[in-house]
Each structure stands twice: as C-alpha cells, then as structure tokens.
Amino acid sequence: MKLTHSTSAVTGSHIPTIHVTAQSMAGQYHAVRSQENEDSIIKFENDSIMVVAVSDGCSESAGAKAASQASCEASVKFAKTRDVWSTDDNTLKSAFLSVIDDVYMDTKLPYNLLKATLLLLVVSKITGDYVGISIGDCSALVLDENLNKPEVLLKPYNQFMQATRTVFANNKDADALMAIVRGRVQDKAGFVLFTDGAKALLEDTYEEEVKKLVGLTAINAGEAAQTEADVLVNTFQQGGHDDVSIIAVGLENPNTVRIASTLYQPKQEEAPESEPAPDFPTITPAPMEMEAEKTEEAQARIENIDELISKTESFQEAMEEAGQPATLSAFLEEIQRPSEFFVQISPFLQNSLMTYSAKTSAFQFCDLSGQS
C-alpha cells in the first residue's frame, strides 16, 4: 500500500508547501502466509490542516487490522477539532482518547480485540504550527531546513525495554504514556513517521537514506521520492518479520530546496549525439506504377523488396547494438553465410532485382526496370 505523492498549497505567508511520500508493506511473517498487512497509514488535508498517521495493529489480536485502520481514522477525526491545538496536555489527551474510543466502538468488534499503536502529525497550513502525538512504539524523526542529521521527534515506548511490550491506543494507561510534541515548520526540512518494522531508521546507519527521502520529497521529486521510500520499505521487509510503514513529509523551505536540488535532484537524461549516416544502402519501396499494376509478378516483387527492407533494418539495429558500422560489405557478408546465402539471395535473382558480376565478384541491386 502506498499513498499517492501529493502536494499541499499552504495559504499563510512564509509557510512552506508540504509534500508527502509513503509506503506500507506486509512483513515476511504475513507475506509468506498470504496474510494482510496489519499496519495502516493515512493522509488527509483540507484548506487549514495536513494530517498523516501510521498505526501498527497487534498481531496477537484478532482485530489487529481493524484497530490500525480505526486508529488512523480517529487521528483524522481528532485533527479536525480545536482540541488538537490545545496547549494543555491533559485537555488534548482526554479529547483524543475520547475520539479513539468512539471510532473503535463504531467497528462493532469487541473492544478488547482492538489493539494498535499510533503516531500522528498535524500541520496547520494557516500558522505553520505542528503537533505530533504518539501512543506505543511507532517513531518519528525531524530534519532541520539544512538537512542536517535527523533528530528523534517521538521515540518508541517499550515497557521494561522489551521490543514486544508496548502500549496500545485503548489501554487504560494510554493517557499517562501518550507523548506530545509541538513546534513550527518554518525552519524544518521535514519529518519521517514509521512503525516499529522500520525502527532501524533510528540508527545512524540510515542517516543518508532518511535525508535523501525527505530531500526528494521536499523538492516534489515524485517518482524518485517514491522509489526511495519503496527501497527502504523493501529493505526492512526482507530483513524482518514485522509489517513496515513509512511516511515522509517534505517542506519546501528555501534552504531545503537549494540543498536537496543540489544533492538529490534526478538528472535529466541527455539526448544522444547524432551519429553520421552509416555507409549502407537506402532501399525504397516499389514505385507507385508498380503497385498500380496489381499483377502477381509485381506483387511478388513488392513482397521481396519488403523482405529485403526488413532484413537491412534488422542488420542495422544489430550493428548499432554492437557498436559497429553498418556497411554494405558487412551486410553482404552477413547474408552470404553458406547456410543462408541461397535462401536469402535467390528471390532477388529470380525476380531480376539483383545481378551477379563475375568480373567484380559482387552482387548488385537492380532498379525495377531491370537495369543495374
């Protein structure tokens, strides 16, 4: 699953345009069993906000996929409320968990089967403010406008430092363990949100890959940015069992665009230099008067000429691929191999399209009047 690369026009002054690149894929454990990806990702925007979220359903629960989808839906629903911009953490937490509960109840599944982690980022397209919220072991990185080393914006929560122990969005202690960060996008290059299947992005090993992904997204290099996201997700998918989801948010800040364009802008393919015309005969189709005759003999000649044209074109292509000149002498050598010679040449001799000169030991094509 991937989110279509998209652009958000921001209305406020000095607020950068926002671009998004994303990918989500089932991990090896689910893929080899033809089971669905239990991660979910979402992007939403309107005139005032842009929202992205990732959620990881707990595989031990029968409602894993439903829980991750509901968590993403709840993120968008909450982002549309005023409470998302509350500077009072308790107010924000209470309002968000209430929305999550409502959306979970709408699934009609047993509440205790809905287990998923969640991380969302909301950006105001009016003020440039952002808020990030995490419940569980998803993570987020942030990069400054100069594309320096990524910094951890939201770190994963793992109980007792165990990778398999975390908190879910509807746990009784979700309130206490919810993490909230706030800031402004005017001096940022972008963000990367990801589920624990891509937790290796927290390591310095992938610093350059993260910078490139954000940089390409910031300059709206759609296909190149998507390829970078696909490669990263595939790398983690092949190397682990967990489902993998990554969302990159790129911001068109001037410094970011300048640096990313220099470092990562896909190069335009240069048009190949024109090559001199090969030393090879140009064979034209039969004259109009010959076609007009519509006789069997004329038709046979046309077919033979078409066959010869086809063979010369194939020969020219083969020579170009081999980096060799397509000369007439080389063509005659090609068609005069003992196994092919008489089959290739006899139709032209029989129809007076070619003659042989004993004096020069060479074959010559004739014009349609029979004159060499």
Range with the poorest average pLDDT among 3-17, 279-293, 308-322: 279-293
Residue 78 resides in a domain: yes
Nearest to 310 by CA among 330, 285, 327: 285
**233 and 351 belong to one structural domain:** no
Question: Given this model, what pLDDT does residue 372 score?
Answer: 46
**313 and 252 belong to one structural domain:** no
**304 and 217 belong to one structural domain:** no
Q: What is the pTM of this model?
A: 0.70
Last residue within a domain, chosen from 213, 232, 264? 264
Beta bridge partners of 139: 194
Counting the structural domains of the chain, the total is 2
**259 and 220 belong to one structural domain:** yes
Model confidence at 280: pLDDT above 60? no
CA dihedral of residues 290, 291, 297, 301 (deg, nearest 10) = 80
**239 and 324 belong to one structural domain:** no
Residue 272 resides in a domain: no
**247 and 308 belong to one structural domain:** no
How many helices (H) and strands (E) in the chain? 11, 13
Model confidence at 358: pLDDT above 70? no
Model confidence at 271: pLDDT above 60? no
Mean pLDDT of 119-132: 97
**227 and 326 belong to one structural domain:** no
* Contact call for residues 147 and 256 (beta carbons, < 8 A): yes
Residue 51 resides in a domain: yes
Ranges 58-62, 164-168, 280-284, 340-344, most confident? 58-62
Ranges 61-65, 144-148, 304-308, 317-321, most confident? 144-148
pLDDT in tens, 149-178: 999 999 999 865 555 678 999 998 899 999
Residue 278 resides in a domain: no
Give the range of the structural domain holding residue 307, as residue numbers without chain letter.
288-365
57: domain CATH number is: 3.60.40.10
Q: What distance in Å separates the CA atoms of residue 195 and residue 201, rounded to the nearest whole number? A: 10
